Copies of this chain bind each other. A is one copy, B any other.
Amino acid sequence: MVPSRPASDIPAAVPARRPGGRSARIRTQVLDAVRTELVEHGYDALTVDTVADRAGVHRTTVYRRWQDIGGLLADVLDVGTDDGWQPADTGTLFGDLAALNHEIQTALTEQRSVTAALIAASFRSGQAADALRNFWENRYAQCEIAVHRAAARGELPPHTDARQLLVTATAPLYHHLVLLRATPDPHLPDRAARAAVLAASAGAFGRETDCQTHAQVFTA
């Protein structure tokens, strides 16, 4: 659930995985500059010109390729979507969900959080909002394998809806840190994971529930 590494880590980590060439190098420089400007000065100070200056790239190059700030933020998240991320495989559903929640908590609370800056930007830019939604959809889809593994081990009732379970497991972290802006609670990642596993074990995310509700509505 982490859009990208903190800006300070990126130069060392990214280039090795990129297809080579000048175009790829410019993309890396420019997106690094977007992340750094975002965490240092926030969305309000973000302009194509400041990004180009920091990246050491011609402004016209940035305008031609990304058009505007919305296009730049969307590309930061697109890179995060393609990054080959996978959820941890700890051997238990609780372990996998707890690892995911610890990762989210770290991403949201680190000092220069790109994630937090992108969430704030999503309330300003429709393109950033669309890109963030797309990024999260992708991450939740990538996480479904953890639920399927648990189902295969017999940890879950049949027909458990993976996405409902994953949103339930992770939502308290986002709510606590992003909207309630509460002090980070070191127990919350494990506790939210455990609550979701207990609810799932009790059949809270069975796909048949909705069908039953529909049936009741139609026969009432």
Q: Is A195 a contact of B191 with CB atoms below 8 Å?
A: no
Contacts of A172 in B (CB 8 A): 167-168, 171
Minimal Cβ-Cβ distance residue in B for A116: B123
**With the chains together, A179 CA to B119 CA distance in Å?**
8
A199 in complex: contacting residue of B136, B190, B198, CB < 8 Å:
B198
Count of identical protomers in the assembly: 2
What sequence of 0s and 1s flags, for each residue 156-199 of chain A, a beta carbon within 8 Å of any chain B beta carbon?
Answer: 00000000100110111011101111100001001110111011
Select the stretch in A12-20, A71-79, A202-210 that faces chain B.
A202-210
A201 contacts partner chain B, Cβ-Cβ < 8 Å:
yes
Q: Is B168 a contact of A192 with CB atoms below 8 Å?
A: yes
Minimal Cβ-Cβ distance residue in B for A43: B123
Q: Is A202 a contact of B204 with CB atoms below 8 Å?
A: no
A120 contacts partner chain B, Cβ-Cβ < 8 Å:
yes
Can you show 29 pairs from A to B with CB atoms below 8 A apart? A119-B123, A122-B181, A132-B179, A136-B179, A164-B191, A167-B172, A167-B180, A168-B168, A168-B195, A170-B175, A171-B175, A174-B174, A174-B175, A174-B179, A175-B175, A178-B179, A187-B213, A190-B213, A191-B204, A191-B210, A194-B204, A194-B209, A195-B199, A195-B205, A196-B199, A198-B198, A198-B202, A198-B204, A199-B199
